[in-house]
Amino acid sequence: MNVLRVFIGSPCGLNLRNILWHGFASPQEIPVKYCSMLLFLTAGLGQLLKRYLVQNKFSLVHRPYITFSNLEELDIFPDINYEVLSLTEELAKRSSFVLKIMLPFWISALTAFRQHRYADCITLLLPQLETGLRLLFTTVNKCPSRLLTAEPSSLYTTLDELTALPEVSLMACTGSRPSALSMINGFAAGDLAVSLQMLAKQLTDEEINQLPLILGEPAVEFLWDFLNHQEGPRVRDHLSHGEISLNEFPREIANQILGFAIILLCRFSEEEEFVTLKEHTAIKLLITCANCYSSRFHPIARLKKQVLECMKSISSWSELPVVSKEQIQAITGYKRCTEMQELVSLITGILSQLQHHLPSSCYILDDPLNNLLTEELLTELCGMQIRTLYCPRSLLEVLVVLRQIGAQCHQVSEQVIVCTEMRYKQWVNKTLHSRQRHNYLRMLKSVKFLSPVLRLILVLITLELNNIHAICQENPFEYQQYLKFLKSILQYTENLVTYTSPEKNKWDETGQLTYRALIKMKTFNERKLTLMQLATQKKMS
C-alpha cells in the first residue's frame, strides 16, 4: 500500500498516473527505474490476487469491456493514409502547438498508427492534445503562470472537470525547466487543487475564456463530443480507466482523433508553411470536414435523431397488414368509432395554432393531418441549426423531459407494430376467440387517431426544440408552469405505453386519454406559453 501511495495514489507522492496522463512529463523525465518498478508491482499484485482467490475459493469475473457502437456516427474525417502521416510528422516538428520536448510522443503516436496499434496511438496522443490546448489556453488568456502549475490556492488547468493533483511547480516551454518529478514539495494530502476546465465558457464571473473563441465552435463541439458528452464515445475516460480492450480499439475512432490533431497542428503553424500544407488535397479535405462539424452527442443532437427515428417507426404503420373493411363489418356487435371525428377536429385545431411557426412551404389548408404531419416536415425542422455550447441548466432540464416524451412515443409505436403484426397473423390463422377479435378491432380503431397524435407531438417537440433558447427568458414561475405542461404530456405518453402494451390492451381507454391530452395542448397554445410563441413575441418586439 505504501508503494502504491508513493507511485500512484497519493497527492503527496509521485502521482505518476496523473502527471503523465495530463501531459506534464516529457519522455526524458520518467526514469527507467520507475517503469521497471510499476511493471514488477503490477505482476506482484496479480500474484497476490491469484493467491487470495485460491485460498478463499473465489472466482474473479471481469466486467465486459466497453464497445463503441454506431461507429458510422463518428465518421467525420476521411481515412488517414501513409502520405498524410508523413506530412503530419513534418508538421509536428514545426507547429507551435507542439512543445519541442514532447515531440517524441507525437512521433511515437504516428508510428503506432502506421503499425495499426490504435490504442497505443491514442494513449500517446490524448495527453499531447491536452498539453497543446493548455499552452494555447494560457497564451490566449494571458495567464502563463497556469501552464504547468498547481497550487492549493489556484486553479489547475486540465481537460477534466475536477482533478486531484499534488502541488507541482513546473516551468513551461522554454529550454531549461526543473524536472516534473523533482519539484514536488511538501503537500498535505487534504489540500487538493481544483482544476479549471479548459473548455469552460468563463474563467471567472467577469472573465470570458478565450480558448473556445480561438478554436471556433466546430472544434469545441468535436472535443465535447469525443471527450465529455455522456452519450458520446468518451474515449479519454474509458481509455484512462482500463475499460477498453486495447487489441480491439477501433481504427475509426483513432482516425478521427488523429484527424482532429492534424487540424490543430495546421492551424497553429507558421503562416507561410500552413498555406503550402493546406493546399494539399488530403489536408484540404480534413480542414473542410472540421469546419463543417456540428455536435452529434449533445442532448439537442440526440433529441433530433430520436424524433426522426420515432417518425420513421410511425410512418411504417401504413404498411402493416390489417383485415379488410368487409371483414370488420362482418363481425356482429362491433361498434363503430364515435369519438374519432372529435379527436381529428382537436388535432386539426392545434395544427392551425402551430401553422404560423412552421416553414413557409407548409401552409396547407386541405387535409392538414396527412399533408403537414409528415416525415419531410420533421426532417426539415430537424435540419435547423441550434446552438449547443454552454446550455444553461434550465434548458438541459427541458431537454430531458422532451427526450423522455420522444422515447415514450417511440415505445408506443413499436408496441403498435408488434401487436398489429401478431394479431393479424392470429386472425389469418383463426386462432383469435371472440373477445380477442373485438379487442383487435378496437386496436385498429385506436391506431387511426394515435398515428396523427404521435406525429403531432413529435412536431410540437421539434418546434419547441428549435426555440429552446427562449427558455432563458422565462421567469421562475413561467418556467415551472412550462415544465408542468411538458410533464403532463410525458404522463400522457407514459400512460399510452401502459395501455397499448400486450399485457394491458386497453385500446378504448386510449381515446379518452388522448382527448384530455389534446385539450391540455390546445389550452396551453391558446395561452401563448410555448417557447415557439415566446420566441415569436421577442422577434416582433
* List of residues 6+ apart from 1 with CB closer than 8 A: none
Which pLDDT score, from 0 to 100, does residue 353 have? 85
Q: Average pLDDT, stretch 508-519?
A: 92
Helix axis angle for 434-466 and 393-428, nearest 10°, is: 150
Which pLDDT score, from 0 to 100, does residue 474 have? 86
Distance separating alpha carbons of residues 6 and 16, to the nearest angstrom: 9
Range with the lowest mean pLDDT among 144-148, 180-184, 301-305?
Answer: 180-184
Three-state secondary-structure class, residue 31: coil
Closest to 168 (Cα-Cα) out of 351, 12, 360: 12
C-alpha grid cell for residue 502?
400486450
Calculate ∠ Cα 185-186-192, nearest 5°: 100
Given pLDDT bands bounded at 50, 70 and 90, which one contains residue 173?
very low
Range with the lowest mean pLDDT among 106-110, 352-356, 389-393, 402-406?
Answer: 352-356
Q: Average pLDDT, stretch 77-104?
A: 93
Which pLDDT score, from 0 to 100, does residue 157 have? 63
Q: pTM for the whole thing?
A: 0.86
Given pLDDT bands bounded at 50, 70 and 90, which one contains residue 243?
very high
Given pLDDT bands bounded at 50, 70 and 90, which one contains residue 269?
confident
pLDDT over 60 (residue 318) = yes
pLDDT over 50 (residue 371) = yes
- The string of DSSP codes covering 224-238 is IIIII-TTS--HHHH
Q: Average pLDDT, stretch 189-213?
A: 69
The average confidence (pLDDT) of the chain is 84
Given pLDDT bands bounded at 50, 70 and 90, which one contains residue 191?
very low
Which pLDDT score, from 0 to 100, does residue 331 have? 56
Which pLDDT score, from 0 to 100, does residue 199 have? 86
Q: Average pLDDT, stretch 270-275?
A: 68
Which pLDDT score, from 0 to 100, does residue 338 have? 57
pLDDT over 70 (residue 308) = yes
Distance separating alpha carbons of residues 275 and 262, to the nearest angstrom: 14
pLDDT over 90 (residue 294) = yes
Distance separating alpha carbons of residues 144 and 533, to the nearest angstrom: 47
pLDDT over 80 (residue 182) = no
Residue 412 or 508, more confident: 412
Distance separating alpha carbons of residues 6 and 225, to the nearest angstrom: 35
CA distances from 260 to 200, 289, 335, 411 (A): 20, 10, 63, 37
pLDDT over 50 (residue 185) = no
- In the DSSP assignment, the letter for residue 113 is H
* List of residues 6+ apart from 214 with CB closer than 8 A: 136, 140
Which pLDDT score, from 0 to 100, does residue 368 have? 65
CA distances from 339 to 7, 345, 449, 519 (A): 73, 10, 10, 14
pLDDT over 60 (residue 82) = yes
Closest to 394 (Cα-Cα) out of 481, 311, 518: 481
pLDDT over 80 (residue 384) = yes
**Residue 202 backbone dihedrals phi, psi, to 5 degrees:** -130, 150
pLDDT over 60 (residue 189) = no
* List of residues 6+ apart from 235 with CB closer than 8 A: 122, 126, 226, 227, 253, 257
Q: Average pLDDT, stretch 182-193?
A: 30
Distance separating alpha carbons of residues 423 and 79, to the nearest angstrom: 48
Model pLDDT for residues 420-462, shown as the tens digit of each residue: 999 899 888 888 888 888 888 888 888 989 999 999 999 999 9
Range with the lowest mean pLDDT among 11-25, 103-117, 129-143, 490-504?
Answer: 11-25
pLDDT over 60 (residue 170) = no
Residue 190 or 196, more confident: 196
Distance separating alpha carbons of residues 107 and 406, to the nearest angstrom: 47
Closest to 303 (Cα-Cα) out of 409, 218, 414: 409
- In the DSSP assignment, the letter for residue 419 is H
- In the DSSP assignment, the letter for residue 294 is -
Given pLDDT bands bounded at 50, 70 and 90, which one contains residue 405?
very high
Distance separating alpha carbons of residues 461 and 456, to the nearest angstrom: 9
- In the DSSP assignment, the letter for residue 156 is E
Model pLDDT for residues 17-37, shown as the tens digit of each residue: 888 898 888 998 889 999 999
Distance separating alpha carbons of residues 56 and 200, to the nearest angstrom: 49
Percentage of the chain beyond pLDDT 90 is 54
In the chain, what are the domain boundaries? 71-291, 299-540
Detail the DSSP E strand segments found in 117-160.
149-150, 156-158
Structural contact between residues 11 and 190, judged by C-beta atoms closer than 8 angstroms: no
* List of residues 6+ apart from 133 with CB closer than 8 A: 159, 198, 211, 264
Query: What distance lies between CA 501 and its chain's CA centroid?
Result: 30
